[in-house]
Structure formats: C-alpha cells, structure tokens
Structure 1
Amino acid sequence: MSSAPKITHDYESWLRRQIPVIDADLETKHAQMKADGFTFFRATYYLWLARVAEQVPEVLRATTAPIVGDLHAENFGTWRDDSGDLRWGVNDLDELARGAWLLDPLRLAASAAMSPHLDLRTKDIADLVLEGYSTAVAGPSPRLSGARHLAALVPTFKDSDAFFKKLTAGAATADVDEAVRQAAAATVPGDWSPSWHVRQAGAGSLGHRRVVGVGRTAEGWAAREAKQLDPGTAAWARSYSDHLPIPAPDLYPAVVRTLDAPRASARVAGWQLRALAPDEVRIELSGLADADVTLVLKSMGAAMASVHGVDRQAFEAAQREARALDPDVFRGYVKTMKQTIEQDFENSR
C-alpha cells in the first residue's frame, strides 16, 4: 500500500500535466492538511478514492448512479434560485461522476465522523446518513421557506457591503478568459462592469486558478466566481481500480436544473462559474444540539437524492440497495475509512 505522501505526489504530478497550478496555493494547501484531520480529509479526495479501492473494494460493486463524488459535511449550503427563493442542498459539483452510489453516503458519514466537536458516535452518524438517503424523494433541493426546521439553523447572513468588499482583497488580475467574462456578465441583470481579482478558497481545489468578478449594478452588488477545472480526480484514480467512478461532466447541466441552482451556475471554456452572495452559508454541525445534528445529517443524506435522482432508474435501484443494506455493514465501512484516513493524516504530519 502506497503512503499518503507518495499518493499526494503522484496526484499533484498528474494535476500539473492537466492544468496550470498555482504553487503558492498548493503550499497553503499542504500547510492546511497538516493542521487537523478534517481539513486533511477535505483536501485529499484523490487519497480517499485510492483508499476505498484498497480497503473496502466491495463498496464499488454497488449500482452505478450519478454521484457528487467529493462529498463531505461542508459541501452543503444555501443559495438563491432564479426566482429569489432561498434553497439548501449540495453546493459543490466539481467532481460529478458516474460511480457506485454507496460512495457518496460513505464519504459523507466518514466526514461527519471526523468533524470536530461532534459528540455523536460513528455508528449513529452512519445510521442517520443512510436513513436520510433510504427515505429520500428525488427532486429539487428544498426551499427553506417550506423547511423551517432547517431554516432555523441557518446562520445570520453576513453584512452585504463587507462581504463584497472582502472579495476585492485579492490581487487585481486581467488574466480572465474572455469567454468567462462574457458568460459571467450575461448572468448579471443590468450594467455590470466588475473588477476581477485572484481568489483563494476551498481545500481540495487549492492550486487551481480561481478568480472573482465584483461590481455594482443599479440593483446592488454582484459577484461571480470562476474556477478552472481539471479532468476530474476520478480520472487520475482509475489506475487504482477500474471500478472507481468515471468523471461525467455531461451531468452538470441536468444536476444544476434539478437542484434549481441559479442561472449563474455554468461551465464555460474549462471553468466553472457560480454566483457569490452573503446569504450563501453553511449550517455548521459543530455546536449544534444533538437533536439538530440528527436533523441535519438526515437532511444531508436526503439531499444526495437530488443528484442521484438525475438518473431515476439508477436512483431507484440504489435506494432499494440502501434499504436492504445491513446497517452493521455500512457502519463497518464508515469506521474502516475513518480510521484509514486518520492514520494517513498522522503519517503525513
């Protein structure tokens, strides 16, 4: 079994052959990976895929469906749809793929089990995620106006002016593809003449080029982020097992429509575009009462159905398998992967 540092080196060497890499951001990522186990988990999706193939290969025999891939407990948040309604669900679709449905709930449960300041046992976390998925109804992400149980847990929105001004703190840049500029402008009503800035964000995608356009319109501030995409981490990982997911960029438009994501969510010229706004926030698991954690974990499990359900037939088969899955078996998968990643973290510090 290859060491985590060796796998990291192999992945980053591959990445450099795919896209230009920002070395300073990659150094920041390496420092963050040494800080705590949960950040290490978030930043090493490539390692996760390699370890699944080694440690729990039976997971890869589950029904193939559209999956999020790089799913974790901080990959959920709020956004405004094109009607102005606030919705909540999966909010990072960089690694969409076709693969074993079981990979998404497994990664979500393992990430929650590694979340700091969460008192629930790994066993209970696994049960809640699987229950949420097993009982989900595929369809659009929920409006918070109709999901008051979730709405009550959403943090207070940030000060609008402060939020947008902070986005301009990055170095100004003219290195923005014209197709990206035009696509971004087309999603902003009225006259919008943004300044473009380098942006550093995320964990797993640090090292990728990322920029943000920020400016005022007659209706107020607007910001559009663009992040350069690579061919998909699963493309690199296929050397570990031909049962691992296959990147599926063609899924993106259908998933965006299903989620009722805003029109600004688009892919153009190898970049992923999205709107940034102060009311796009996460529900943090840390600090919640146990009853609220239970609610959010079930809701996260259910939110996967909005992505998997893009292929209705595959989702129905996956849900049947989820309902038939022995809870002890799933708990074992989660425990194994949690312990494996924790050991990799210790060996990488």
Structure 2
Amino acid sequence: MAPHPPQSRPSTGPDPSAIDTSRRPFVLIWEVTQACDLACDHCRADAHPARHPDELTTSEGKHLLDQAREFGPGQLVVLSGGDPLTRPDLVELIEYGTSRGLRMTLTPSGTSSLTPETVHRLSDAGVTRLAVSLDGATPDTHDTFRGESGSFEQTVRAARAARDAGLPVQINTTVCAQTVDELPALRDLVDELGAVLWSVFFLVPIGRGRVLEPITPDRAETVMQWLSEVSDDAPFGVKTTEAPFYRRVAIQHRRDANETPTDDDIGRRLGITAGDGFAFVSHTGELYPSGFLPESAGTVRDGGLVERYRESELFQSLRDRDALRGKCGACEFRHVCGGSRSRAYAHTGDPLASDPLCAYVPDGYSGPLPEGRVSGD
C-alpha cells in the first residue's frame, strides 16, 4: 500500500507580535487523554494506563478544533496527555485539525509505541512539530525519572526519525533538584539531535510533582543566566515553561534593566503566561488557564471556547498584570514576565500571588521575600 499522502499544512502562524492575547491564545493545549504507560515522577496529570470514560469523543474533539479555528487562521494547537498515542483516533484528529487550517503539534510519551513508523505517519497526517521529553542525558538518569526502562532510547530514536522525516523536533526538559545537574549534558544532546527548540520546564508542585524537590530561587536565577548564555550561541531556540522570569534575566543579560523592553531578544512574544496567551482544555473538556493551574472557566464540550477565553472573569484577571500581588505586583518587569501564575496558585491558592521561584527583588520593595533571601541581598 502506498504511504498516505502528506496533508497540506500551515507552514507558519500569525506574527507573534501581532497577536492580541486578550483575543486569542498564542498556544492552545488540548489534553486528549490522561492515559499513559509511563509513571513519571513529575506527572501533572497523575496519568494511568486506562483511558477515562468521559474523554472528549472523536466528534467532540473535532468540534473543539472547529472552535479553535474561530480564534483565527494558523492557531497553534498542541495535542498532549497522558500519551496522545493511546487514542486510536489521533491521526484522524490531526488530519481534521490540519484541514481546518490549524497548526497541529504533538507531545507523545517515550514508549514503545513511538516508533519511527509512527513518527512518519504523524508527519504525513499534518503534524508540524513533534515535542519529546528528555529529563536526563543518559538512559539511566532519564529512565529513572520517567519510571520506564528503555524510554530514553525510544525517545532519542523518535527524535532522530522526526529529523529524518523533515519534522521539526522540540525537546522538553523538567528542572528540579533531581535533574538540574543534567542540564549541560542535555544541552549537548539537544544540539546533537538537531532540535529547533529546547523547552525547559521548571517544576510546579501538582500531581506527582508534589513529591519532587524543586530547586531554590537562587539556583533558578543561576540556571536562567546560564540558559540566556546558551541561547546566545546555540543553533536551537531556548524557552522556559512556568518560569517567565527567564525573560527578565534575558533582558538584563542584554541591556540596561532601566530601559523599557519591547521584546525578549530571543525571538518570541513577551508575556505569555497562564490565561494570557495560553489556554488548556482537559481530557473531559474543562477550560483552564494552564494544565498546572486547575481552576476551570467552564466546559467547552458544547461550545464557548472563544467566549470563555476572552470574557471569563478568571482569564481576564490573569491578563491584568497590574492586579498581581506582592513582589510580582511591585516588579517593573511584570508586563514582560508576570511570574508563573500556576506556581503561585500551587503554593498559595491565589493565582495572582507572587511566583515563589523568582529571586528578583524590585528596588524599594519591602514585602515578603523569596525563600532564603533577606532585605539588602
């Protein structure tokens, strides 16, 4: 049988600088399932092998993709999990989203199902980028973290298959006390695999991640400075997830902090945070600002995605940087950073509180300080 002909897919999306994040998200994530064969230490979803009986059906999923198209042409949609490959209709959903003019990307788990043949089938269906996770630079460190022997080799094999198929590869890495020392070796591996982007996720303590030890604010600051230096020379892009103060560090690394920054010098739109340029639809159709901020703006099973993103009180409050409290509210970088609203919520129950991982103290600020810091630091 001849291979399935590649789908016509949007090659580029809208200009990031032209996106009004009060009207549309830069990134829309759909958690198509929570089923996964891995038992990763940091799993937000606390995933299990079995699929949930109330997952969105194929028909409901297509309706969701129709709603996503209402945001405008070239909307970026990330299919995540769990492991999306556990859904037998995954290729059908990708083909449908591609036919609707959406940029469909995928974050599969590094399991035995992620074969080179599967990667080519996903590419033919219209996937525009494959994002795989590497949390250690060796089979021992990665597989221990992921709870599955062989996950490292399967992930690396899939990344190479994607590269060979001409499918851009993104590498996702979780940063916590267990993984932080792996970062330099991982940087070299990301380069070796020919990835276009390294997305470095700083742990948020929800799901299984509650049992992991985060790094300290001062260590996070050091890592951010290192990542900023990596981004200067690396042949791939560098971004952080749930650590938007990387933008502040990158700006300080490149210019006088007293200037009013207009971009982050790393080729991406500033200020994307939970609910502001970012939205997440759960496997059962609940709309959240982020998968790490489980406050629902309502279900989108029967419609309302666009309206809820634009008009719900929850999302509107998260887009008001002047409503931030504590140190984040006093920070001159709040409009280009904004702090992790998910981490603030995980620690305090208040999504507008300060991000406890950020070590920066604005001049003249006299309120509560990050862990381990005192006035005058």
What is the TM-score of this pair, normalised by structure 2? 0.28
Relative to the length of structure 1, the TM-score reads 0.29
Report the structure, 1 or 2, having the larger helix content: 1
